[in-house]
Structure 1
Amino acid sequence: MDQPKISQELLKDSCDWVTFNMNVPTASHMGGTWERLIRSIRQALSTLLQKHGQQLDDELLRTLMTEAEAIVNSRPLTYVDMVAPDSEEPLTPSQLLMLKSKVVLPPPGVFIQQDLYCRRRWRRVQYLANQFWSRWKTEYLSTLQERKKWQKAQQNLEVGNIVMMVDDSTPRCQWQLARVVETYPSSDGHIRKVKLQTGRSVFERPIHKVVLLLDQGRPDEEPNA
C-alpha cells in the first residue's frame, strides 16, 4: 500500500493513519515495558485463580478482571512536586482513557479472607482485588529498576551470515542452520531482527534466537567460528 497517499487522503477527513510495527515472532521481550507489565499481571492473576478460582462464576470473574484493569491503569505516569501543596495529581492511564481526573474510587470497606465464603458475592471480588493489588504491586515495582540486559552494543548481523537457530521445538541431535537473507535495522541503526532461509523455508527471528557461526558478509575479514 502507498502509505503516504493513504495518510494524505485520510487527513482530508481529519483522520490519522497509524502504522503499526509488529514484534518479530518469538521475541516478546522486544515489547519492552508493556510485555513485562503483561507478565506481572498474568502471574498475579494466575496465582489468585489457581487458589480461589472455584469461588468465582462468570460474572464475578468479569468483575475481578475489571477491578484488576482499574488497578493497573491507576499507576502514575508522571512526576509531581511533593512539596507544593497545590500541585496536580500524577497523570494515569485511567485519566487518559476515561477523560476524568477522579476515576478509581477507594475500596468500599475492609475485606478479610473469610469474605471468600460470604454469601455477598461482591465481597469475594473485593477481597481478591485487594490480593491482586498486593501481588501485582510487588511485581510491577521491580520492573522500574534499571535493566541490566542488552545495555552494550554487539556486532550487527549481516546478509550472508551463517547462523544456528535457537528453537526449543527442534528434535534431539538436530541443529537448525540458516543463512541471513535480510536484516531489519531499528531506528538507532542496530539490527534486532533478521530474515533467515533454511532450504526453501524462510523465517523471521530476533537476534537473541540465533547464534552467529560464520561471518560471510565481510569477505575482507576472516570468518568467525
Structure 2
Amino acid sequence: MNDDQVRAFLSKESISWTFNPPTASHMGGVWERQIRTVRKVLTPLFKEHAGRLDDESYRTLLTEVEAIVNDRPLTTVSDSPDDLQPLSPAQLLTQKSSVVMPPPGVFQKGDMYLRQRWRYVQFLANLFWTRWRREYLSTLQERQKWNKEKRHLQVGDIVLVKDDNQLRSNWMMGRVISTGKDRTGFVRSVVLKTQTSELHRPIQKACSSPCSRGTMIIIVIY
C-alpha cells in the first residue's frame, strides 16, 4: 500500500481520521462494545470448530459474519407509520436497498461431517447468527438495577421484535400501537404493527430500536 497515495486521496475527499491513544480502547466504548459482542461469540465458535476450517472456509465464514452484523437495523427509512423497512449499515456502505436472501438450504449439525465444506460454513454462520443475535439484543435491554423508573414504551415507538425462529439476517421491526399496563401503571405488554401483521408481546420481547443511540457502528472484517 502506497501511503502517499492514500494520504492524497483522503485529503482530496476531505476525509480525516481521529484515533484513540494507544492502549486506550476504553475511550471507544460504543464501538468497542459492539466488537466485543462479535468476539464473544466467535472465540468459542473457533475453539470448537477451527480445526475443520481451511483458509478459504475461514474467509468465507468471516464474510458471512460481516454481512450478518452489518444487516442489523439502525432505524426506519421513512416516518410513515406503514413503512417499517429498516436502514442498515450495509445499505449505507453499498448505497443499495438491502435485499436479504434466505440461507441456501437447511443446515444441521450433520453437515460438519460432510465433504461439502460450503454446507459446513453455512452451518457455522447459522450458529453465529443465533448466538450473536441473542447477545446483541440483550445489549438493547440492559437494566443494571431496578431502583429508578425508566422510560416506558409508548405508542409510536419503533422496536425490534424477538423471534427465535427468525431466519438469518432477518430482523422483524414493529411500531407500538397500544400498551398494556399493570395496576401500578407500568407498561408490561404492547401491541405491535409489523409489515405483515399485528402482534401482542410482553415488553421482554420488544427491544427499543438502536436508532435513538445516536451512533452508527459498521463492522468490516479483513
Is residue 50 of structure 2 the alignment partner of residue 53 of structure 1? yes
- Per the TM alignment, residue 110 of structure 1 is displaced from its structure 2 partner at its CA by 1.1
Q: Cα 1:33–1:145, aligned 2, differ >3 Å: closer, same or farther?
A: farther
Question: Which structure 2 segments of 5+ residues have no match?
Answer: 1-8, 145-222
Report the equivalent of 2:92.
96
CA distance in 1, matches of 2:56, 2:102: 21
Q: Using CA pairs below 8 Å that are at least 6 residues apart, which structure has the higher relative contact order?
A: 2
Q: With structure 2 as the length reference, what TM-score do the two structures score? A: 0.55
- The ranges of structure 1 where at least 4 consecutive aligned residues each deviate by more than 3 angstroms after the TM superposition are 79-85, 145-148
Report the 3-state secondary structure (helix = DSSP H, G, I; strand = E; otherwise coil) of the residue aligned with 1:108: coil
Q: With structure 1 as the length reference, what TM-score do the two structures score? A: 0.54
CA distance in 1, matches of 2:35, 2:115: 32
Contact 1:74 1:94 in 2 (8 A): yes
Q: 1:211-222 alignment to 2 at 5 Å?
A: none
Q: Cα 1:34–1:147, aligned 2, differ >3 Å: closer, same or farther?
A: farther
Contact 1:77 1:92 in 2 (8 A): yes
Is residue 113 of structure 2 the alignment partner of residue 126 of structure 1? no
Which is higher, the Rg of structure 1 or of structure 2? 1
Contact 1:111 1:123 in 2 (8 A): yes
CA distance in 2, matches of 1:18, 1:39: 27
Aligned-partner residue type, residue 74 of structure 1: D
Q: Cα 1:115–1:48, aligned 2, differ >3 Å: closer, same or farther?
A: same
- Per the TM alignment, residue 39 of structure 1 is displaced from its structure 2 partner at its CA by 1.1
Aligned-partner residue type, residue 23 of structure 1: N
Is residue 101 of structure 2 the alignment partner of residue 105 of structure 1? yes
Alpha-carbon RMSD: 2.8
Contact 1:77 1:91 in 2 (8 A): yes
Identity rate of aligned residues, in percent?
57
- Per the TM alignment, residue 130 of structure 1 is displaced from its structure 2 partner at its CA by 0.4
Report the equivalent of 2:111.
115
